Chain A
Amino acid sequence: MSEISEVDPLITETADRLFSQICDHESVQNAEVTGEATEIWKAFAETGFPWISISEEFGGSGGTLLDALEVLRLVGYHAAPIPAAETGILGGWLLSSSGQQLPEGVVTVLPSGSENLLVARTGDRLTLTGRGLRVPWARTAEIIVVPVEVDDQTFVASVQPGDCQITPMTNMAGEPRDTVDFNEVEAFAAPVPSDVNLRSFRFRGALSRTALMAGAIEKMSQLTVSYTNDRVQFGRPVAKFQAVQQHLVWGAQDAALARMAAESAAREANRGSGAFEIAAAKLIANQAAARATKACHQAHGAMGMTQEYPLHHLSRRLWSWRKEYGGDAEWSEWLGRIAISQGADGLYPLITGGSGVLR
């Protein structure tokens, strides 16, 4: 067994307390209207949390990927409307991997990288043309990071948002997912080590979503237990009815399953591997989100369908995150090909050994 690293309990406690104070129903709702959550971001940034796991040498806060993912889990739990993943373990990771300094503010990253862009390279300058879709918080970012594969090499480009045309768009939860048009945009780019590429970026994106989703499903499950114990019908709390208990149990199972999957994937990723675990965790989170949102909405009745009640902050985020960095089909096919390649006798060893047997 490799050394087991654990989450620093102080991180959990501090981040949870911070979000409990600044991230209430009203502020999340308000961010949806205005498209930004300046106060929440400011308080979050002051703690240095966005930059955990990024080396101090490049302007990060140090610490482990495990701690960074724990913070993301709490971002999901509190439905915090901030670009935490993009600034830290996605954009920040790409910048620091290529030896670039992080800016002080928000960083975002093109989820599809250079896949839909025309790229021309002259030394450390790239010229990008094309359109990036669903770019989180591009409108408030100081840098738009683009991982680029060109000339059989991977580069990380730092694009100035002012050089692009940004059209504000949103996801199902009303969070910024902007369209970014590049019209022969010139940007500085630096190469990265061979283990950083579009594929590993895709996995890292999926990893970030599993953490967010695990947090949101858990909160949704707890909210549902609380609501059904308060809500009285036929003279008793509806949680006492077997038909409702079924929804509570299913919600709690998916919360446990998604969190276990996310945390197990985080441990492997923290050791620098974990492709199998990340793929499995994202698929599990996707499916758990689908089942749990259904169960929790059903248990809430009409109340869950209103804007005034906070369930939708979680369920709508889950429906969006489910499709980001790989939906069900992408990950089940990837995993399936791996599983089949192990052969019948290797199938169970793969389930118990994960990435360990693929190395």
Chain B
Amino acid sequence: MRFTPTELTEEELELQQQVRDFLREELPPGSHEPCLGMAARKDKDFSLKMADRGWVGMALPKDWGGSDRTAVDRFIVVEEMLRWGAPVGHHWVADRQTGNVILKFGTQEQRERFLPAICRGELGFSIGMSEPDSGSDLASVSTKAEETTGGWIINGTKIWTSGAHENDWFVCLLRTSPMEDGNKHAGLSQFLIDLKSPGLEISPIPFLDGSHHFNEVTFNEVFVPETNVVGDLGMGWHQNTTEMAYERGGPDRWLSPFSTVEQLLREARGTDLEATVADLFGELTARWWGIRNLSLSVARLIDTGEAPSVESSLVKEMGTRFEQEVIEKLVHLIDLEYSPESESLFERLLAQCVVTFPGNTIRGGTIEILRSVASKGLKGLPA
């Protein structure tokens, strides 16, 4: 494990400036209710505008509608969007991971069909991993795909499916052959499923504050054409693990509370509070600077062709705990009663953070699972 310090090149700094200019024009500070990181509003128009600039699916090859940009370029766009609290929800999953999966494992036909549309910012994807009896023990998934003429018949249930009620497609990990003794990772395959398919039912699982993100998706004899299998049959576990490496360690794992902190500074300007927050702002600034440097070095490593799964697990575990710590520090400091309906934007955001941030160390792999992934890669003293 080695995180090497890296810096942005002139071209990368130029991109950063372009993104900042774009955001200042599209979402002038004070004009919009910032989102809290990647749990952002879906705003297809905004996604289309970003795509117009070439900032959706930007790391995908030009042949498929992308811009052949690097993981670091994508990092720059993503961090600016998230710190601004921009509504990136519509294209988020496709941009972060689905595009990569289809490029890497998909057929030529799948690439033609999906990648240009992803890069145009048109398609929204959901992820189908968890099931009622399969959470952290993901390899135990039991939703079945059985072969039939020209395709597959699917039966079973996926849960915690974010955005299934608004998205277009569903990337699902399904069991295509029975669980073998001693090799539970075998017999799993990935499928691309149209969320409008007959027999597919979507029902909300209300979030603790009553909002609608999660769904239960049930498959009742749903037919999926054979052309929608992603990669090789039985290779789903491997593909899924690769996919998760893209999911971990990026700015979405440490920037979620940023817009709240920024808003505190905006509202504290010139008040007594300003003098009392110096210590806190010093600490948060240092921590964000440090974690960002680690996270950026992971992106640089990906650009050299590495799959830094230990490094990205370490960053995600640390980043998501940091997000919760930030909010705890704000709650400690701000001696106010706040609510989602407070007049102050800062207080509204803080209330939202308090209520939703317990999920940050759970989504996309709990920190307990991340610790087990990361600790396998730790090295002791050199021999």
Contact = CB atoms under 8 A, between A and B. Distances in A.
Co-complex (A, B):
yes
B278 A1 contact: no
B175 interface: no
Interface string A28-45: 000000000000000000
B334 interface: no
Interface string A218-233: 0101110111010000
B29 interface: yes
A242 B9 CA distance: 41
B286 A284 contact: yes
Contact of B281 (A222, A259, A284, A340): A340
Given A226-B380, A249-B375, A343 B269 contact: yes
A295 B283 CA distance: 21
A281 B292 CA distance: 13
Interface of B: 1, 3, 5, 7-10, 13, 16, 20, 29, 79-80, 83, 258, 261-263, 265-266, 269, 274, 277-294, 297, 311, 314, 317-318, 368, 370-372, 374-375, 378-382
A332 B314 contact: no
A260 B297 contact: yes
Contact of A332 (B9, B80, B279, B317): B279
A260 B290 contact: yes
Nearest to A267: B5
A279 interface: yes
Contacts of A279: 282, 286
A331 B380 CA distance: 32
Interface stretch (A49-57, A106-114, A165-173, A347-355): A347-355
Contacts, number: 158
A249 B317 contact: yes
B269 A333 contact: no
B381 A347 contact: no
A248 interface: yes
A289 to B, nearest CB: 13
A108 to B, nearest CB: 29
Contact of A335 (B9, B285, B374, B375): B285
A252 B291 contact: no
Nearest to A332: B282
Given A252-B1, A336-B285, A354-B289, A344 B263 contact: yes
A85 interface: no
A283 interface: yes
Given A222-B379, A257-B318, A280 B289 contact: yes
A248 B281 contact: no
Contacts of B269: 343-344
Contacts of A263: 5
A226 B294 CA distance: 24
A309 interface: no
Contacts of B290: 257, 260-261, 280-281, 284
A348 B375 contact: no
A257 B381 contact: no
A4 B7 contact: yes
**10 tightest A-B contacts by CB?**
A336-B282, A226-B380, A336-B278, A332-B282, A335-B282, A344-B266, A280-B286, A225-B380, A245-B375, A336-B281
B266 A336 contact: no
Interface of A: 1, 4, 219, 221-223, 225-227, 229, 239, 242, 245-246, 248-249, 252-253, 256-257, 259-261, 263-264, 267, 277, 279-281, 283-284, 287, 328-329, 331-340, 343-345, 347-352, 354
B149 to A, nearest CB: 47
A261 B374 contact: no
A350 B258 CA distance: 13
24 contacts: A221-B378, A222-B382, A223-B381, A225-B380, A246-B371, A248-B378, A249-B314, A253-B317, A257-B291, A260-B297, A263-B5, A277-B289, A280-B285, A335-B283, A336-B282, A336-B283, A337-B282, A339-B265, A343-B269, A347-B285, A349-B20, A351-B289, A352-B16, A352-B79
B318 to A, nearest CB: 5
Contacts of B381: 219, 222-223, 225-226
Given A335-B281, A336-B277, A225 B29 contact: no
Nearest to B29: A345
Contact of B371 (A242, A340, A349): A242
Contact of A333 (B282, B291, B294, B378): B282
A333 B374 contact: no
B374 A252 contact: yes
B85 to A, nearest CB: 11
A80 to B, nearest CB: 16
Contact of A252 (B288, B289, B314): B314
A331 B282 contact: yes
Contact of B286 (A242, A245, A329, A332): A332
Given A257-B318, A333-B279, A336-B279, 8 more contacts: A245-B372, A256-B1, A277-B289, A332-B279, A336-B277, A338-B285, A345-B29, A347-B262
Nearest to B380: A226
Contacts of B370: 249
A140 B375 CA distance: 44
Contacts of B289: 261, 277, 280, 351, 354
Given A284-B290, A336-B285, A339-B282, A344 B265 contact: yes
Contact of A334 (B282, B314, B380): B282
Could you say which of B280, B285, B311, B372 has the most chain A C-beta atoms within 10 Å of its C-beta?
B285
A335 B261 CA distance: 15
Contacts of A334: 282
Contacts of B1: 252, 256
Contacts of B382: 222
